[in-house]
């Protein structure tokens, strides 16, 4: 660890290292899969074939990200079926951000720009995480994430060159998603029970507050170029710090959302449960086909 070497699945590792990796990677995978729902809500209502094709590609990418991450978790000795059960039973988390509803098509752009932008801030350092399979999964995820962010920003800039109503729709969307995007990075460092140990084990390479600050500093010039503002009266450049000062997210809202009391938590889990149950026959057929294939080769 001290020599910044990668830990591989067959290496000895402290039980606590394995446990927190399963926790973080499983919840990361769950986030990717649940994250398909908010944007999926607009697949059948995209305003053009081009927008529908782009959105379809992005939602499919998220499914792939989930599969890479479940595969990385399985190298630690867990089964994705068990992880899915834990998700559906509410025993494992997924990112708070996906419990907010997508009320207008501008949300598809804002999610791409801000949510995937925040994800990039968080995931690029994870490409240097100490656990090999996780770090390698992140390399492919980050390449696709940059397409996700660019398509979102391009969608919004197109709307900003449209009508007053479209510009108002973009600003209203940004007002709704800015604070939840800051909460994606987790609680403040002084209220983060996992950060200190995860930094020591080089699972995390930066703290929650460091990455949140990096995201704010990256987003403000992009908002200015887009012609939108963020709903934070305390957001101001601090020349002494060489960074933006900004207000405090509502951590009571964050706590409620991750406790399951967000606007869309029940819907997201109900959809995931239904997809799992309705898809049981596909899993059974695939297992039967694989078993027959093994018999044929015997
Ligand atoms: N949503 C839900 N739960 C959260 C959270 C969030 N935004 N932030 C923190 N939490 C939870 C933690 O999981 C932990 O609970 P647990 O111990 O039961 O797991 C508790 O709140 C305390 O937080 P900590 O800061 O102590 O926890 P971590 O050290 O694990 O840090 C994290 C939280 C920064 C999210 C870290 O787990 C991480 O970097 N995870 C990998 C990245 C990830 O999961 N991103 C989620 C979004 S994926 C995505 O955006 C897809 C993209 O395509 C749009």
58 lines ligand 1 (CB under 6 A): no
Ligand 1, atom nearest to 145 Cα: 53
Closest-CA residue, ligand 1 atom 23, reads 192
User: If you measure from the C-alpha of residue 103 to the centroid of ligand 1, how many angstroms do you get, rounded to a whole number?
Assistant: 24
Closest-CA residue, ligand 1 atom 38, reads 24
pLDDT of residue 202: 96
User: If you measure from the C-alpha of residue 181 to the centroid of ligand 1, how many angstroms do you get, rounded to a whole number?
Assistant: 12
Closest-CA residue, ligand 1 atom 51, reads 32
Give the separation between CA 53 and CA 57, rounded to whole angstroms. Answer: 6
pLDDT of residue 298: 63
pLDDT of residue 296: 74
For residue 10, the 8-state DSSP code is T
Ligand 1, atom nearest to 31 Cα: 48
Instruction: Give the mutation target among 194, 195, 202, 250 for probing the ligand 1 site: most ligand atoms within 8 A of CB.
Output: 194
Q: What is the pTM of this model?
A: 0.96
pLDDT of residue 71: 97
Do residues 109 and 159 touch, judged by C-beta distance below 8 A? yes
Give the separation between CA 129 and CA 276, rounded to whole angstroms. Answer: 31
User: If you measure from the C-alpha of residue 41 to the centroid of ligand 1, how many angstroms do you get, rounded to a whole number?
Assistant: 24
pLDDT of residue 293: 82
Report the interhelical angle of 265-278 vs 15-34 (nearest 10°): 90
Closest-CA residue, ligand 1 atom 42, reads 28
Closest-CA residue to 185 (of 175, 176, 195) = 195
Can you read off the two tokens belonging to residue 207?
Answer: 């703290």
For residue 151, the 8-state DSSP code is H
User: If you measure from the C-alpha of residue 24 to the centroid of ligand 1, how many angstroms do you get, rounded to a whole number?
Assistant: 7
Domain range annotation of the chain: 15-296
99 lines ligand 1 (CB under 6 A): no
Closest-CA residue, ligand 1 atom 17, reads 194
Can you read off the two tokens belonging to residue 284?
Answer: 């059974």
Between the two ends of the chain, the Cα-to-Cα distance in Å is 44
pLDDT tens by residue, the chain, 298 residues: 778 889 999 999 999 999 999 999 999 999 999 999 999 999 999 999 999 999 999 999 999 999 999 999 999 999 999 999 999 999 999 999 999 999 999 999 999 999 999 999 999 999 999 999 999 999 999 999 999 999 999 999 999 999 999 999 999 999 999 999 999 999 999 999 999 999 999 999 999 999 999 999 999 999 999 999 999 999 999 999 999 999 999 999 999 999 999 999 999 999 999 999 999 999 999 999 999 987 776 6
219 lines ligand 1 (CB under 6 A): no
186 lines ligand 1 (CB under 6 A): yes
- Partners of 7 in beta bridges: 131
User: If you measure from the C-alpha of residue 290 to the centroid of ligand 1, how many angstroms do you get, rounded to a whole number?
Assistant: 36
Give the separation between CA 210 and CA 195, rounded to whole angstroms. Answer: 11
185 lines ligand 1 (CB under 6 A): yes
Do residues 232 and 178 touch, judged by C-beta distance below 8 A? yes
HSE of 139 in the Cβ direction (CA atoms, 13 Å)? Answer: 7
122 lines ligand 1 (CB under 6 A): yes
Q: What SS3 state is found at 237? A: strand
Can you read off the two tokens belonging to residue 286?
Answer: 């695939």
* 15-296: CATH architecture: Up-down Bundle (1.20)
User: If you measure from the C-alpha of residue 258 to the centroid of ligand 1, how many angstroms do you get, rounded to a whole number?
Assistant: 10
Give the separation between CA 92 and CA 83, rounded to whole angstroms. Answer: 8
């Amino acid at each position: 660890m001290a020599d910044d070497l990668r830990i591989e699945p067959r290496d000895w590792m402290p039980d606590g290292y394995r446990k927190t990796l399963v926790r973080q990677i499983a919840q990361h995978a769950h986030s990717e899969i649940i994250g398909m729902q908010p944007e999926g809500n607009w697949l059948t209502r995209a305003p053009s074939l081009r927008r529908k094709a782009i959105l379809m590609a992005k939602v499919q990418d998220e499914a792939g990200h989930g599969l890479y991450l479940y595969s990385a978790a399985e190298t630690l000795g867990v089964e994705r079926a068990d992880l899915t059960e834990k998700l559906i039973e509410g025993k494992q988390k997924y990112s708070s951000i996906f419990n907010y509803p997508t009320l207008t098509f501008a949300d598809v752009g804002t999610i791409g720009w801000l949510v995937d932008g925040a994800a990039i801030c968080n995931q690029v350092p994870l490409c240097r995480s100490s656990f090999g399979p996780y770090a390698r999964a992140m390399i492919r995820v980050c390449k696709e994430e940059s397409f996700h962010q660019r398509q979102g920003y391009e969608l919004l800039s197109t709307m900003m060159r449209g009508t007053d109503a479209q510009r108002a729709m973009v600003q209203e969307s940004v007002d709704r998603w800015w604070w939840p995007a800051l909460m994606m990075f987790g609680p403040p460092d002084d209220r983060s029970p996992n950060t200190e140990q995860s930094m020591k084990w080089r699972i995390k390479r930066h703290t929650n507050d460091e990455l949140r600050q990096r995201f704010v500093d990256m987003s403000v010039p992009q908002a200015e170029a887009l012609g939108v503002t963020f709903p934070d009266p305390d957001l101001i450049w601090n020349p002494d710090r060489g960074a933006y000062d900004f207000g405090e997210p509502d951590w009571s809202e964050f706590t409620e959302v991750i406790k399951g009391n967000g606007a869309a938590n029940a819907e997201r889990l109900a959809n995931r449960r239904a997809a799992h149950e309705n898809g049981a026959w596909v899993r059974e057929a695939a297992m039967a086909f694989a078993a027959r294939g093994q018999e044929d080769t015997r």
